[in-house]
Amino acid sequence: MKLSAAIAVLAAALAEGHYTFPSIANTADWQYVRITTNFQSNGPVTDVNSDQIRCYERNPGTGAPGIYNVTAGTTINYNAKSSISHPGPMAFYIAKVPAGQSAATWDGKGAVWSKIHQEMPHFGTSLTWDSNGRTSMPVTIPRCLQDGEYLLRAEHIALHSAGSPGGAQFYISCAQLSVTGGSGTWNPRNKVSFPGAYKATDPGILINIYYPVPTSYTPAGPPVDTC
């Protein structure tokens, strides 16, 4: 069997074992995280132009029961269920809820999302990521945020079968936050919309991570905004 064919078989075998991101910190599933379309199937979003690429919401407009209080600068865990079983990068985005709206119901539409964390790969006999196999990933709420309500978007892009367009798998959810104690100087310069931030042909999305082994990786989406 040629190497490329062997890799295709391997990738197909790895296609099982999907996952969700149902909770933050030590809280119950879907208490502060909006329930996702895949809450039972665990399956991914594959169309970057779909509205589902934003928060993968099963019931848009309904929101989650709670809004999680967090102090700016705190690092919290965003939890995966059962684990991040595919290779690929984790990223986090945050969006401030506009005045007069609530994190419980705001839809997150428009160019409102800032990337606050981007996981990068290790380079070896294939691309590998530290998130692979984990059941949670830490995210630091920027210490310079303005006080107020936010949506926090967790995204893991599984790249095991991303060598053809539409092959990348997006595992997503959004948590509802109320942030206090920030210094208030947050001024993100790279806000994007979902859908809109990604194209199916972006080099961080359309990529064979096994062969030929990439020697660089260009993440999808905007640069990380920092304080």
Ligand X SMILES: *[C@@H]1O[C@H](CO)[C@@H](O)[C@H](O)[C@H]1NC(C)=O
Binding site for ligand X (CB under 6 A): 66, 69, 178
CB of 27 to ligand X, least distance (A): 9
The half-sphere exposure of 105 on its side-chain side, counting CA atoms within 13 A, is 5
Q: Which member of 12, 13, 18, 26 binds Cu ion (CB under 5 A)?
A: 18
**Max Cα-Cα span within the chain:** 61
CB of 169 to Cu ion, least distance (A): 6
Non-local (6+) Cβ contacts of 100 within 8 A are none
**Which CB atom, from 24 or from 84, has the smaller least distance to ligand X?**
24
CB of 61 to Cu ion, least distance (A): 28
Check residue 8 and report its DSSP letter: H
**Which CB atom, from 126 or from 178, has the smaller least distance to ligand X?**
178
- Identify which of 145, 223, 156 has the alpha carbon closest to the alpha carbon of residue 186: 145
**Which CB atom, from 69 or from 101, has the smaller least distance to ligand X?**
69
Residue, CB closest to ligand X: 69
Contact range with Cu ion by CB under 5 A, out of 10-18, 128-136, 191-199, 218-226? 10-18
**Which CB atom, from 5 or from 99, has the smaller least distance to ligand X?**
99
CB of 103 to ligand X, least distance (A): 11
CB of 10 to ligand X, least distance (A): 45
Report if residue 81 touches Cu ion, rule: CB under 5 A: no
CA angle 21, 117, 141 (to 5 degrees): 80
Q: Which residue has the tokens 């020697």?
A: 215
Contact partner at residue 18 from Cu ion, ligand X, none, CB < 5 to 8 Å by partner kind: Cu ion
- Identify which of 64, 45, 71 has the alpha carbon closest to the alpha carbon of residue 197: 45
**Which CB atom, from 24 or from 157, has the smaller least distance to ligand X?**
24
CB of 71 to ligand X, least distance (A): 11
What are the angstrom distances between the C-alpha of 157 and each of 56, 128, 216?
13, 12, 17
Q: How far apart are CA 224 and CA 115, in angstroms?
A: 5
**Which CB atom, from 46 or from 114, has the smaller least distance to Cu ion?**
46
Non-local (6+) Cβ contacts of 212 within 8 A are none
Neighbours of 215 (CB within 10 A): 7
**Interacting residue ranges for Cu ion, rule: CB under 5 A:** 18
